[in-house]
Amino acid sequence: MQFWFAHGVEVTLREQLVTQVILGILCHDLHPGERLPSTRELARRFRLHPNTISAGYRQLEQERWIEFRHGSGVYVREVKPEVPLSPALALDQLLANLFRSARGLGVPLSTLRSRLHYWLELQPPDHFLLIEPAEELARIVALEMHKAVALPVQTCGLNDKQLPDALHGAIPVALPSRAMAVRKVLPAGTELLTLRVRSIPSSLAEWLPAPSGALVGIASRWPDLLKVARTMLIAAGFHPDSLVFRDARKPRWQRGLEQTAAVVCDSVTAGQLPRTIRTVVFPLLSDTSLQELRRFEEFLRNRIDPSV
């Protein structure tokens, strides 16, 4: 079996060794009873520290992929361990089989890389990417999106170093206040979905007129929601003394909320409140935005399978 080692990358050399040996066994490039290169041989051939090789082999032995035979060397175990493959390892196995088949056909690596790039470009997006620097706001919006669509929803900041990688296979999404800034960091020609925010006055209409003498709680991890809610509720006729505000980022923030008639909160905070407390979830996204997300998802599904 041929080994490859890349120096100066995020994946450690030990992990590279362990993964290649496991995949070699799973893909039948390495067979039960086959002898592996010695620590000294691998270290000399690939300019690796012997301790790195030894650590990798010890991990493989502990996971029962290989065995040490005294005075003879390192061998693939006769019986493979009965362990479920992680999603990442299962995907690696598929890719390893692809590379092995390509080698068997005599396909050059450059040609394989080109064809992989071609097919990846043909694939439709497989997740939504909410680009929002305010972490707490991103959590709330992502949860609301997740409840509305079947595709995964990921989040990323404007200046996040992972943004270029996160954009691969993604449908970029932004709130109106961030749309202009987000477009500046997206590659030219990239489509951006801009979400609409729900109208606060219309959302409050069903709770008016303000009840007299009742305590109302307002809780959120997003500070701006607390500020806006305070302004709007007071403007709508709620007495300031009847409003109990809680920043859900602080310790013991739930304390005292059981005395309120209800707690107005975002979707994330609602899941952190006891069921004994009546919650009024205040959605941030408008119904039209959620419908647009569903329509876009349906469009993608039809691209993948026109018969659906």
Reported as a single tens digit per residue, the pLDDT across 18-49 is 988 887 887 778 889 999 999 999 999 999 99
Quick check: pTM over 0.75?
Answer: no
DSSP structure string for 192-226: -EEPPBPPHHHHHGGG-SPPSS--EEEEES-HHHH
Radius of gyration of the chain (CA): 28
- For 74-103, the pLDDT digits (tens) are 999 976 555 566 677 777 778 878 887 888
For residue range 41-69, what is the model confidence (pLDDT) as tens digits? 999 999 999 999 999 999 999 988 999 99
pLDDT at res. 205: 62
What does the pLDDT read at residue 120? 66
Residues 197-256 pLDDT 10s: 887 666 666 666 666 678 889 999 898 888 878 887 787 778 888 889 999 999 999 999
pLDDT at 1: 75
What letter does residue 306 receive in the DSSP assignment?
T
Contact of 202 with 184, CB cutoff 8 Å = no
Structure confidence at residue 122 (pLDDT): 55
For the chain, what percent of residues have pLDDT higher than 70? 89
| Tens-place pLDDT, residues 253-301 | 999 999 998 898 899 999 999 989 999 888 889 888 999 999 988 887 7
Show contacts of 74-82: CB within 8 Å, 24+ apart. 74/35, 74/36, 74/38, 75/33, 75/34, 75/35, 75/36, 76/25, 76/30, 76/31, 76/32, 76/33, 76/34, 76/36, 77/32, 78/32, 78/33, 79/32, 80/25, 80/32
pLDDT at 308: 44
pLDDT on residue 121: 65
For residues 175-197, average pLDDT: 89
77 contacts: CB under 8 Å, gap ≥ 6: 32, 64, 65, 66, 67
Please check the confidence at residue 306 and state whether its pLDDT lies above 70.
Answer: no
Q: Is 69 in a helix, a strand, or coil? A: strand
pLDDT digits (tens, 9 = 90+) for 132-173: 999 999 999 999 999 999 999 999 998 888 888 888 888 999
Which one has a higher pLDDT value, 264 or 307?
264
In degrees and rounded to multiples of 5, residue 73 shows phi and psi of: 135, -155
